[in-house]
């Protein structure tokens, strides 16, 4: 008799780092949700007092010598130096995981400086990394927004996928009377829902399986990313559910037709129809780049509280080009001098002199009415 031998399958380990004040607040929300044992949360900060208030069991104070535990003082270079000082500890934590998520705010000191450095460490260790960062409100001023922009640009050099949550989108997408705490809760829930969907998908064998290597293949398309989760109740339009997952109003506005890859997890009951599964795949291919790598998985959960749940992570989206694009060419506004190239220019003094000597028109009643400079230039 033959004995069937099964390999010891290891569940992928996911590490979620909350960096800086914003990131640690997000971690405090996420740890309230029952994730699997393979998801590990880490709070990272330069501010010792704020870090002590974190509810996370794993906490790392970075830059003991650089910041003395007093924070980065809204200086990204301080945050970078602090992370660099604690590189050994960060490297050890990153190396333990198979997938890295980093979350935090851009525009301040710790998050803006430390997150790109941590991403560079993950890249050096060949670990797939998804960064979910927020950008400041417009009223926080030009300087803070410019720091955030620079931080995102630096992060893009190292992270596999960067998802930006503009704070200004909160007031546009949510009820005007929503409290600030609840607004941030909704923003954080995007990462929360995706983590739950991802862990369900890659941590257990599905009917149509998505594994760790599938995830790595999709996020390897470096660039901006979009992600979302949507639930469909009985009788709801499937296209509406797909659009909810693809186009969350709290995310940065990105062009999904440029996406080079997408991982799509469908979690459903046993009653899911073949036509529904096909429609999900066809619709996604229509909305993404024609050559995009789309990996579509299906996990059956009999006790699901809805008809189906759809999780999408679209990657490899290039940042929008600045400037007006028309017929594949950048239209640049004309300089001030360009406006006069087609105009006939005249010498104002010659004009005045001509008018003064005209027999038919007498703009000046007396000799003294003619400007002194013009009178002096007239021949004797």
Measured CA to CA, the distance from residue 178 to residue 181 in angstroms comes to: 8
* Higher local confidence (pLDDT), 178 or 332: 178
Measured CA to CA, the distance from residue 74 to residue 61 in angstroms comes to: 17
pLDDT of residue 373: 43
Residue 338 lies in a domain: no
**What's the token pair of residue 311?**
């999780």
pLDDT of residue 94: 97
**What's the token pair of residue 58?**
């794993």
Q: Would the pLDDT of 149 be above 70?
A: yes
Predicted TM-score of the model (pTM): 0.78
**Sequence-separated (6 or more) residues with CB below 8 Å from residue 345:** none
pLDDT of residue 5: 39
pLDDT of residue 56: 92
pLDDT of residue 334: 39
* Residue reference for tokens 């997952």: 245
Domain extent, residue 223, equals 213-333
The CATH number of residue 114's host domain is 3.40.50.1440
Q: Would the pLDDT of 291 be above 70?
A: yes
Average pLDDT for residues 239-255, to the nearest whole number? 85
* Higher local confidence (pLDDT), 67 or 177: 67
Q: What is the pLDDT of residues 329-363, one digit of tens each?
A: 333 333 444 433 444 444 545 544 555 555 444 44
pLDDT of residue 353: 54
Domain identity same for 29 and 142: yes
- Percent of the chain at pLDDT > 90 equals 38
CB count within 10 Å of CB 255 equals 13
pLDDT of residue 363: 46
The mean pLDDT of the chain is 81
Q: What is the pLDDT of residues 203-214, one digit of tens each?
A: 666 778 788 888
Q: Could you tell me if residue 68 is left (phi over 0), alpha (psi between -120 and 50 degrees) or otherwise beta?
A: left
* Residue reference for tokens 């979910």: 132
Residue 319 lies in a domain: yes
b/e string for 203-219 if b means 16 or more Cβ within 10 A?
beebeeebbbebbbbbb
Domain identity same for 94 and 145: yes
The CATH number of residue 261's host domain is 3.30.1330.20
pLDDT of residue 321: 44
CB count within 10 Å of CB 301 equals 16
Look at residues 171, 203, 235 and tell me which one is the last residue of a structural domain.
203
Residue 43 lies in a domain: yes
Cα Rg, the chain, nearest whole Å: 30
The count of domains in the chain is: 3
Domain identity same for 329 and 365: no
**What's the token pair of residue 370?**
């003619």
Q: Would the pLDDT of 127 be above 50?
A: yes
Q: Would the pLDDT of 68 be above 90?
A: yes
Domain identity same for 107 and 147: yes
pLDDT of residue 204: 65
Residue 1 lies in a domain: no
* Higher local confidence (pLDDT), 376 or 305: 305
Residue 154: HSE in the Cβ half-sphere, 13 Å Cα cutoff: 21
Domain identity same for 304 and 358: no
Q: What is the pLDDT of residues 14-62, one digit of tens each?
A: 999 999 999 999 999 999 988 888 899 999 999 999 999 999 999 999 9
What are the contacts of 239-244 at 24+ separation with CB within 8 A? Answer: 239/279, 239/283, 241/308, 241/310, 242/280, 242/283, 242/284, 242/310
Q: Would the pLDDT of 369 be above 80?
A: no
Look at residues 156, 174, 203 and tell me which one is the last residue of a structural domain.
203
**Sequence-separated (6 or more) residues with CB below 8 Å from residue 351:** none
Helices (H), the chain: 20-30, 48-52, 64-67, 76-85, 87-95, 110-124, 142-156, 168-173, 180-203, 212-219, 238-246, 274-287, 348-357, 372-377
């Amino acid at each position: 008799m033959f004995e069937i031998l099964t390999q010891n399958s290891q569940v992928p380990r996911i590490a979620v780092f909350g960096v800086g004040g914003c990131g640690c607040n997000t971690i405090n929300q996420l740890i309230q949700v029952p994730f699997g044992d393979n998801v590990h949360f880490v709070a990272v900060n330069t501010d010792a007092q704020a870090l002590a208030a974190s509810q996370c069991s794993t906490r790392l104070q970075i830059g003991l010598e650089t910041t003395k535990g007093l924070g980065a003082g809204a200086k990204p270079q301080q945050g970078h130096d602090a992370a660099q000082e604690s590189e050994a500890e960060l490297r050890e934590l990153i190396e333990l995981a198979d997938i890295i998520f980093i979350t935090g705010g851009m525009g301040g000191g710790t998050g803006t400086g430390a997150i790109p450095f941590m991403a560079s460490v993950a890249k050096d260790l060949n670990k797939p990394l998804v960064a979910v960062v927020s950008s400041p409100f417009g009223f926080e001023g030009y300087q803070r927004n410019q720091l955030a922009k620079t931080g995102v640009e630096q992060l893009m050099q190292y992270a596999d996928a960067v998802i930006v949550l503009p704070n200004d989108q909160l007031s546009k997408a949510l009820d005007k009377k929503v409290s600030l705490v609840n607004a941030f809760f909704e923003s954080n829930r995007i990462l929360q829902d995706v983590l739950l969907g991802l862990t369900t998908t890659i941590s257990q064998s599905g009917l149509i399986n998505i594994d760790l290597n599938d995830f790595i293949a999709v996020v390897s398309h470096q660039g901006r990313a979009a992600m979302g989760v949507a639930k469909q109740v009985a009788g709801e339009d499937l296209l509406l559910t797909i659009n909810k997952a693809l186009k969350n109003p709290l995310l940065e506005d990105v062009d999904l037709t440029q996406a080079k890859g997408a991982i799509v997890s469908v979690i459903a009951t046993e009653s899911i129809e073949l036509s529904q599964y096909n429609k999900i795949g066809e619709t996604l291919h229509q909305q993404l780049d024609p050559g995009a790598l789309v990996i579509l998985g299906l996990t059956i959960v009999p006790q699901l509280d809805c008809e189906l749940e759809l999780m999408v992570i679209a990657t490899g989206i290039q940042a929008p080009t600045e400037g007006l694009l028309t017929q594949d060419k950048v239209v640049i506004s004309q300089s001030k001098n360009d406006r006069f190239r087609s105009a006939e220019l005249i010498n104002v003094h010659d004009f005045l002199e001509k008018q003064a000597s005209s027999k038919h028109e007498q703009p000046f009643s007396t000799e003294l009415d003619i400007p002194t400079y013009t009178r002096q230039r007239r021949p004797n």
